[in-house]
Structure 1
């Protein structure tokens, strides 16, 4: 006879499984509450204070999380990969890091226009890139050729209702 066939043992096993499942749920809830990726507003403040980041509650949680994550990633030896990871932690797509003679260029390659939290990106990168290196930023915009290819006439362009800013930063068909 196996212990699984004993009614008391089966009952004990079932209760233990329920307790273990409850423990797992609480454990992962605890871990999530301690992670910068999932921290609520109060826990995020603790991360910001611990890392010496000014608390700015006027920014969205997403923007504040990006600053915390960038700061955490920026700890350690500065490499091209670290600079890329830090810049990409700000939810504005992919970047390319180009090293030059005394310079580092951050080229935003997957999104059009300026990142909404550019000043936070600049601060995070300035904090990790050695002070003797100058940092340049390159942004992606629609070109005249792209606009010309998407609008047959100037009247079509005017009828689109796009502002100049939108014309530069809106993904155009075929662009």
Structure 2
């Protein structure tokens, strides 16, 4: 049913309103494990896998994202240890309480919160890449996380834990 003054809005999925007529195919939305290499969108509509070359470049980029996530976690951990109040027992294990926690300066508290939020956003982005259910991208995320953990993990045995995807 046409509304007066609205004309026929036949093609709502068009190509951006430029009137060029050529529209991009929709992103593939697989809800099952797959090895697809056609119209796989990674986080953004413009980041698409449509060829072997784009698949290899995307897997390399996703690998680096996983790798640098581990670097970011390690960097934040080092920063927190260097800014811990004196007399504080800093540990990465879940069962050891902090000793003499003292008041943490508001500036440090806000920076810790900011770093935490950025790491959560980063981990959710990796989770969304994982949730393409694309085997190539899943392996790239896992490979990057393994390589990054190997490169940047601390010598604390209690620090081994899964990725943060809240």
Larger radius of gyration: 1
Same-fold status (TM-score > 0.5): no
Please identify which structure carries the higher strand content: 1
